Structures are given as C-alpha cells and as structure tokens.
C-alpha cells in the first residue's frame, strides 16, 4: 500500500491563515483532536455515497407522495428480499413491508387478530432489527446515531451493532425486556421510521408541490420535518410564493385555480384564508348571471357550485385587470399580446386577438369600464386588499412559504446532476434567451440567478412594499412570462380558453428548449456547460411536462443526458400519462428510474397490503461503486481535511498553542 506524503506548509502560508486557524482550534484544541477528526473524515470519504431520490410534480397528492417516501420507491421491499431471500414467505414479506410503511396503523390491525402478541413481537423485532442493520450498513456509526429516534437511541444502536455468538443472549434479553415492559409497539414504530430514514439519504423535489390535488399543505408539513430535502421551484409553487409575498395578481391566480378545481379546503381550512369578501362581491355583481363558462374540473352539484362559478368569474376578471397593469408598467416583459380587456368590442361581443376579431362566448362584464378596462372598481380593490391581508397573515402559509425560500431555489447543481423544474429558455437557433431584469439583460445561468434574487427580494419586503412593487412583478413574470425558466411557454392563454371558442387561440407553444434539449444531446450538453458541469458525466433532471407513456413517450431524453420525471402523480394527469409518477434514484451503483402505477389509498395499503406497483429500470451503472469522495459532500470534506492538516502544521510549528 502506498501512502501519499503529507504536504509541508511554510510558516509564511500558515501566518496568512492564522486568524482562521485560531478559530478552528476552538473546535480542535490539540493535535490529538485534530488528528482524530482527520482519520474520521478520511474514513467517511471511502464509504458508499448516500442514496438520493428525485420526485417531481406532486400537486397536492399527499397520499401517493407519502407512500412513495414510506416505501422508498420500492427499495423497502428490495431490502427485505436482500435480507431474507427465500427464507421468508411472500405474505410475511408483504406484511413486514406494510408494517414499515405504516407502523402505527398496521400494528393496530395486527394486534386485534394476534393470539400470541408476545411471540409476534419477538419475531417481528428480530426481523426489523435485521432490516435496520442492512439499511444502515453503508453509513458511519456517527451518522446513524444522529438519525436514531431519541427515545430508543441507545437500544437501537446496540441492536444495529450485533456481532458474534457471545452477544446472542444479550440481544435476546433486550428484546424480551422491551416486550415485558410493554414498549414493543412504540419501539417498532420508531424502528420502522428509522428504516425509512436510512433508505433515502437526500430527497430532491423538482417542483410543483401546489395546486390541483387536495393536500399540498400536508406535503409541506411532511417536508418541513424531513431530514434532508431540497426543492427546485415549480411554476405552481411560484404562484403561491408570490401570493404569500403580497402580489395581488398572484393572489388572484391562486384563488382562480383553487376555484377551478373546486379545491378550497387548502385555502380555507388548511391556511385559514376566508374567501367571504370575494363570495359577497360575486353574489352582488353576478346575481342573475349563471356563469356557465366557469364550471369546475370536478363534478358539479348543489347551490354551492353556483356560488363557486360566480366567484370563479369574479376573480378571473380581477386577475386579467391586475395582470394588465403589470404588463403596462413593465414594457421589458414584451407581453402586450396579453392586453385583451381593451380589445373587447362590447357592442359587437367580439375581442381582437392579433389581427383577427373573434366572437366572445359571453359578454356580461359589469365590472369592466370600456374607458378604463384595466382599472379595478372600488369594490374589487377592497376585495383584493382584504384577500392580500389574509394571505400575508396566514401563519401556516407563511411558515410553508418561508421553507420554500430557505430550502428551495431556481435550480441546483448537485453530484454532477443539474436539477430544475421547467427549462433553460432557448431560441430556435439554440442560443439562450435573455430578459432585462432591473435594467440589465441576463440569459442562461445568470437569468436563473437574477430571477431568483428578485423573487427573494419580493418576499423579504412583503410587509413593506406597495401593490406595484417591481420585484413582485418579476415573481408574477416567473409564473407566466415567455422567458421564464419555470413556465416554458410563449404565452398563457387563460383569457382565450375561457372566452373564445376557436381552438387556434388556445395554443400555448412551448419554448424551443423542449424541442432542442429533449432531442439533441448537443443542446443538453450546452446547458450543463453553462452551469459549470462536465457533460461527459452529468445529467439534467427535469419536471413540469407530463410524460405521455401511454402514447409511447420515454422519460429518458437527449441520448440519456436528460430525464423528465413528471409521470403524473397528480390524478387529473394520469389519464394523459398512463402512469402515476416517477422516482429517479441515484445510489452508489448508478441511476435507476422507477415508474409508479396508480395508488389506490393508504387504507387499502394498510388493510390489504396493497402496495403501489412500480417498474424499475436501470439507466446507468457505475463502472466502480461511487464513494463519498466522488460527491459534492466529498469535496467539502476534502477542504475540511486540508484545513485540519494546516492546523496540525501550525501546532507543530508552535504558531498556535495546544490546549487540553
């Protein structure tokens, strides 16, 4: 075995770093402590890299999302098979897997029908201990200990480190004591949650937590307590982030989408945002209007849906007014084609789009003043002021949005993968499109960085800015602008889809990125280089556009350089995709794509052990198993080791005094 010689530091080099080294010596006050840490870090560098899971476009589907996390996208069952092989019957494996997914609920069912609970506890604790040991085997003892549940940390630590026949009676005694003192149920729950945690080292959410599905707030609660997660903002996240930051246009968008999907529980019950001001206004303005164009995406029944349609129309008109005001004060957005309220001929019942007049599907616009069509009425302004106040004062919403800002970003370059939700806007020739932001023009990586910067600024100033705050205008642009990295289309044709029958007006052409980067490795490589990644070893992980598997589409694009992992976790999309989402897994052996089929319910999973059906495809296998030293964390550890070696040299040269 060859050992590399330790670098010799000169006294001059060390003196230049003396202030930093003195601070470092507070944590490592002598040669022994610094040496021990170097040995520990060097050992960590040679462990297998942690397992990363990538999930996209959750859209409030909490049950499916929660199950995918609990079963680690099928990894739990694979681990059970690895541990027990053919020594355990399939029905016992399924029961064990369901217990790991839903320990509290499954325990309750099992114990109702178990004749000898003590024997079952003894067997189950042994089996779970074996799975826990296998799940934690590639991590350091220090990392595992940090992940242990506090109430049972010492006991689980002992069970995980079982070795040799001499300890058989010792471990049997531990398990028997747990059962005797009636702590077996709590211990099993803790052990199952520990297994779940060990099987996903880091979770990447590639955007769109919000809208459509019913429980976005539950998804956010789960993420808030998750041990390691990052989020790349999606367009449906941005609209909520902007609304919570005080953008009136985005408040209107959030409410309109919620009404369109008849999903008001998230707003009213989860976040305590009352829509009473809007309801009162809608009843007054549209009392005799059936608002038939404003039906919801769900089956309508009862008088409540009549009110929802009226509210839907009221907020839609308000939204168009507010968005027109943003377009007028931001000519750099180049969105004059979205100014349509002033193109309505109220006498003829038509609207001019481009150079052509189209008949409107309805013409009852009592709040639109033909002489000043973009101005809110006094009543509309009052409604929006009150709604904005409700968004800003919702404590739970603000907590969730704060988490999106603290753990989220426009993109993330991590372990040779570039993660973003929508696209990197490109023109037809393959160049990066640009946008003027606060007087300067940006494209590519700089465009993403500066749009993120102004979005953060808008949120930071949420208690101070006015309704025409320019940073919030940029947040709105992120939602629907043609050069927005999270939108990826040339326009959002909400007005045309709502009021014009001709399909030609409904078309929302995609950015050239989707033709170029999806189909040609050259353009995917260009994007990777723009973000400082080596195209030979790097990949793009994308969400946003549902993969139509039932029509033969593949999530693997650009000759394996780009993965689109929006498979339709959102139930409305599953008719289009034919599947129910993807998980991309990056472990020490390579990249694996897991395709999920429809998940019925947590209740059926618990009662009937009906797991989500997942198809696993190995995409790329590493020639050598990846170690921590091959990762971004490894690069950070290498810097720590170098600093500690410099500290050792300072101790040995007498530049810093050792302490006990």
Q: pLDDT digits over 328-343, tens only?
A: 999 999 999 999 999 9
pLDDT over threshold 90, residue 161? no
In this structure, is residue 601 part of a structural domain? yes
DSSP secondary structure code for residue 656 in this structure: S
DSSP secondary structure code for residue 270 in this structure: I
Question: 194 and 172, same structural domain?
Answer: yes
> Residue 6: its pLDDT value, please?
65
The tokens for 83 are 């541990």
pLDDT tens string 486-502 = 999 999 999 999 999 99
Which residues on adjacent β-strands are paired with residue 542? 420, 564
Give the count of domains, the chain.
Answer: 3
In this structure, is residue 409 part of a structural domain? no
In this structure, is residue 95 part of a structural domain? yes
Tell me the backbone φ, ψ of residue 259, rounded to 5 degrees.
-70, -40
Q: Give the predicted TM-score (pTM) of the model.
A: 0.92
Instruction: Please give the residue range of the domain that contains residue 65.
Output: 52-206+543-626
pLDDT tens string 72-111 = 999 999 999 999 998 999 999 999 999 999 999 999 999 8
> Residue 166: its pLDDT value, please?
59
The whole-number average pLDDT for the span 431-455 is 97
Lowest mean pLDDT, pick from 115-124, 268-277, 352-361, 440-449? 115-124
> Residue 538: its pLDDT value, please?
96
Nearest to 376 by CA among 315, 465, 293: 315
pLDDT tens string 170-180 = 777 888 888 88
Token pair 């209740």: residue: 603
Count of other CB atoms within 10 angstroms of residue 377: 17
Residue 162 pLDDT level (bands cut at 50, 70, 90): low
The whole-number average pLDDT for the span 440-465 is 90
pLDDT tens string 282-324 = 999 999 999 999 988 776 655 588 899 999 999 999 999 999 9
pLDDT over threshold 70, residue 32? yes
Nearest to 553 by CA among 511, 584, 518: 518
> Residue 532: its pLDDT value, please?
96
In this structure, is residue 17 part of a structural domain? yes
The whole-number average pLDDT for the span 530-549 is 93
DSSP secondary structure code for residue 408 in this structure: E
In this structure, is residue 411 part of a structural domain? no
Question: 61 and 17, same structural domain?
Answer: no
In terms of Cβ atoms closer than 10 Å to its own Cβ (0-12, 13-18, 19+), residue 502 is exposed
In this structure, is residue 412 part of a structural domain? no
| Dihedral sign computed on CA atoms, order 599, 601, 603, 604 | negative
Question: 191 and 57, same structural domain?
Answer: yes
Residue 138 pLDDT level (bands cut at 50, 70, 90): confident
Which residues on adjacent β-strands are paired with residue 360? 500
Count of other CB atoms within 10 angstroms of residue 151: 12
Question: 366 and 236, same structural domain?
Answer: yes
Residue 4 pLDDT level (bands cut at 50, 70, 90): very low
For residues 54 and 541, the answer to whether their CB atoms sit within 8 Å is yes
Q: How far apart are CA 78 and CA 83, in angstroms?
A: 9
Q: How far apart are CA 483 and CA 475, in angstroms?
A: 12
Question: 258 and 143, same structural domain?
Answer: no
> Residue 177: its pLDDT value, please?
85
The whole-number average pLDDT for the span 569-587 is 85
Highest mean pLDDT: which range of 4-8, 456-460, 481-485, 601-605: 481-485
Question: 187 and 98, same structural domain?
Answer: yes
pLDDT over threshold 60, residue 66? yes
pLDDT over threshold 90, residue 385? yes
In this structure, is residue 575 part of a structural domain? yes
pLDDT tens string 192-229 = 999 999 999 999 999 999 998 889 999 999 999 999 99
Percent of the chain with pLDDT over 90: 72
Question: 341 and 447, same structural domain?
Answer: yes
Average pLDDT, the chain: 91
* Alpha helices (runs of H) in 10-116, residue ranges in sequence order: 11-16, 18-27, 31-45, 62-70, 75-84, 90-101, 103-113
pLDDT over threshold 80, residue 522? yes
Nearest to 256 by CA among 233, 236, 270: 236
Question: 345 and 436, same structural domain?
Answer: yes
> Residue 300: its pLDDT value, please?
61
For residues 295 and 308, the answer to whether their CB atoms sit within 8 Å is no
Tell me the backbone φ, ψ of residue 42, rounded to 5 degrees.
-65, -35
Which residues on adjacent β-strands are paired with residue 420? 411, 542
How do strand 408-409 and strand 411-414 relate by DSSP bridges?
Answer: unpaired
Question: 293 and 180, same structural domain?
Answer: no
Question: 454 and 386, same structural domain?
Answer: yes
Question: 320 and 196, same structural domain?
Answer: no
Task: Determine the 3-state secondary structure of 245 from DSSP.
Answer: coil
In this structure, is residue 473 part of a structural domain? yes
Question: 461 and 366, same structural domain?
Answer: yes
> Residue 154: its pLDDT value, please?
82
Residue 466 pLDDT level (bands cut at 50, 70, 90): low
């Amino acid at each position: 075995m060859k050992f590399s010689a330790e670098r010799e530091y000169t006294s001059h080099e060390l003196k230049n770093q003396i202030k930093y080294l003195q601070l470092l010596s507070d944590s490592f006050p002598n040669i022994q402590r610094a040496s021990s840490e170097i040995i520990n870090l060097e050992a960590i560098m040679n462990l297998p890299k942690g397992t990363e899971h990538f999930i996209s476009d959750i859209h409030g589907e909490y049950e499916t999302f929660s199950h995918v996390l609990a079963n680690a996208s099928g990894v739990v069952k694979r681990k059970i098979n690895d541990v027990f092989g053919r020594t355990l019957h399939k029905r016992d494996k399924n029961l064990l897997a369901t217990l790991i997914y839903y320990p509290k609920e499954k325990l309750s069912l099992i114990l109702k029908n178990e004749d000898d609970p003590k024997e079952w506890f003894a067997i189950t604790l042994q089996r779970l201990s074996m799975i826990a040991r296998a799940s934690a085997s590639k991590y350091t003892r220090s990392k595992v200990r940090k992940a242990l549940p506090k109430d049972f940390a010492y006991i689980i630590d002992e069970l995980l480190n079982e070795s040799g026949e001499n300890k058989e009676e010792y471990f049997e005694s531990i398990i028997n004591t747990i059962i005797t003192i009636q702590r077996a149920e709590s211990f099993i729950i803790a052990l199952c949650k520990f297994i779940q945690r060990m099987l996903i080292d880091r979770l990447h959410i590639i955007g769109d937590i919000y809208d459509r599905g019913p429980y976005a707030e539950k998804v956010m609660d789960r993420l808030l307590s998750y041990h390691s997660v990052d989020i790349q903002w999606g367009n449906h996240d941005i609209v909520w982030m902007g609304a919570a930051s005080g953008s009136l246009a985005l408040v209107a968008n959030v409410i309109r989408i919620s009404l369109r999907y008849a999903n008001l529980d998230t707003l009213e019950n989860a976040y305590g945002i009352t829509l009473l001001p809007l309801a009162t206004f809608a009843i007054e303005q549209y009392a005799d209007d059936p608002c038939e164009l404003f039906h919801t995406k769900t089956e309508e029944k009862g008088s409540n849906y009549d009110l929802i349609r009226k509210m839907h129309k009221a907020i839609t008109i308000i939204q168009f007014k507010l968005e027109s005001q943003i377009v007028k004060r931001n000519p750099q957005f180049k969105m004059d084609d979205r100014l349509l309220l002033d193109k309505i001929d109220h006498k003829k019942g038509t609207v001019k789009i481009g150079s052509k007049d189209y008949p409107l599907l309805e013409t009852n616009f009592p709040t639109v003043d033909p002489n000043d069509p973009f101005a809110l009425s006094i009543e509309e302004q009052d409604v929006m002021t009150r709604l904005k106040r409700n968004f800003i004062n919702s404590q739970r919403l603000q907590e969730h949005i704060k988490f999106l800002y603290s753990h989220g970003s426009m993109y993330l370059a991590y372990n040779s993968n570039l993660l973003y939700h929508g696209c990197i806007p490109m023109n037809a020739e393959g160049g990066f499109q640009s946008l003027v932001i606060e007087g300067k023009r940006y494209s590519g990586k700089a465009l993403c960085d500066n749009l993120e910067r102004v979005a953060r600024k808008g949120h930071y100033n949420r208690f101070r800015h006015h309704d025409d705050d320019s940073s919030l205008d940029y947040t709105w642009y992120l939602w629907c602008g043609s050069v927005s990295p999270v939108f990826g289309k040339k326009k959002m044709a909400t007005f045309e889809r709502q009021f014009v029958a001709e399909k030609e007006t409904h078309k929302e052409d995609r950015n050239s990125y989707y033709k170029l980067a999806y189909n040609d490795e050259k353009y995917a490589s260009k994007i990777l280089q723009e973000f400082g990644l080596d195209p030979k070893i790097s990949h793009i992980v994308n969400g946003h556009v549902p993969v139509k598997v039932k029509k033969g589409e593949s999530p693997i694009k650009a000759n394996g350089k780009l993965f689109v992992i929006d498979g339709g976790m959102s139930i409305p999309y599953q008719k289009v995709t034919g599947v129910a989402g993807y998980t991309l897994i990056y472990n020490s052996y390579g990249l694996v794509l897991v395709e999920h089929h429809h998940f019925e319910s947590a209740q059926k999973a618990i009662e009937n052990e009906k797991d989500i059906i997942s198809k696993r495809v190995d995409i790329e296998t590493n020639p050598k198993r990846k170690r921590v030293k091959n990762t971004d964390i490894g690069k950070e550890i290498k810097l720590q080791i170098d600093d500690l070696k410099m500290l050792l040299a300072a101790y040995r040269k007498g530049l810093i005094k050792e302490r006990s």
